[in-house]
Structure 1
Amino acid sequence: MDNFYLDIFSSQEKAIHHCLWLNFKYRIAKITFGIINGPDNNFAVVEEATAKEMEMSFLDILPKDYSNMNYDDIRLIRMDKEPLPHLEELFGDFSTIDGEILRFILHSKIPIEKIIRFILAERGFDKNHRWCGFSKSFETWLK
């Protein structure tokens, strides 16, 4: 094996979070990541090509998305002493919003997804972060 990607995690949950992020991050390059059993009763996140080269199959543990996340899942992420950078940034951003604003969002049922889509549309990029112009961006994001 000349070049291969391998990240080792002691917890299955953290491997899943990392793998979901990598699959999103490298979606444009069409590189697929998955999880295999690690060398020491742990979990390894690897590229599909690496798993094939190692003659291993991905474990069938990767969810499609976070739609089934519950409060225990969130608690585990928040308690992690070494959080994954993308989750640290996500939770950090929400943590710095004034509490009264967060309560207002919940109380008023503000559609966060629509706000995010609108903000992304205003940037002029498509869903793969390629410049497409503002008209096309609004068309893409506000469907």
Structure 2
Amino acid sequence: MKKLLRYPNKQKAVDKALWLNFEYRTNNKQFGVIQSTNDDYLVVLKDSVSFERKNFEKLPCDYSKLSYKKIQMIAMDEDPLNHWEEIRGLFSVMDGELLRYIIHSKIPLEKFIRFELAARGFDKNHQWCGFDKAEKIWLK
């Protein structure tokens, strides 16, 4: 993993930093976003730079407030971040009637995801913990 990644806009840099913070959660690495002197944004490993904390952009905790406009920006991105491309791909290949049924019937997708994760036997940090423990973790 490079220590410095450059993005043309702040939102894309923030999205990448959030993903990296999740991806490296077990290594205690924290990534942040700073604006460069070239008016683009850099994703950097926080303890590898000598910037004051006030220079880092504030990162959101999660995407619970994700707007349709933001989703549209993700969809129109010519060079999307891998995790957004994968997530969008899941839905883009799904039959439209299934998508409408999910919305119409208010199917709780989070519960399906939790059930799948429990069935894999790993904890929240992707460490093998066994099926019984994984069920307690994911299906609470």
Give the TM-score band, short-chain normalised. over 0.9
Residue 60 of structure 1 is matched in structure 2 by 57
2:37 corresponds to which residue? 39
User: Contact 1:9 / 1:15 at 8 angstroms: preserved in 2?
Assistant: yes
Offset of 1:56 from its aligned partner?
3.9
CA–CA separation in structure 2 for the residues paired with 1:38 and 1:65: 24
**% identical equivalent positions:** 47
Matches within 5 A, 1:78-97: 78-97=75-94
Unmatched runs of 5 consecutive residues or more in structure 1: none
SS in 1 for 2:18: helix
After TM superposition, which residue ranges in structure 1, 4 or more long, deviate above 6 angstroms?
A: none
Structure 2's unaligned 5+ residue stretches are none
Deviations 1:71-122 (A, max 9, x none): 0000000000000111101101111111111100000000000110000000
Separation in 2 of the partners of 1:4 and 1:137? 33
Within 5 A, what are the aligned runs for 1:1-143? 5-51=3-49, 54-57=50-53, 58-143=55-140
Partner Cα distance (1:94, 1:31) in 2: 31
Alpha-carbon RMSD across the aligned residues, in angstroms, is 1.4
Query: How many residues are matched?
Result: 139
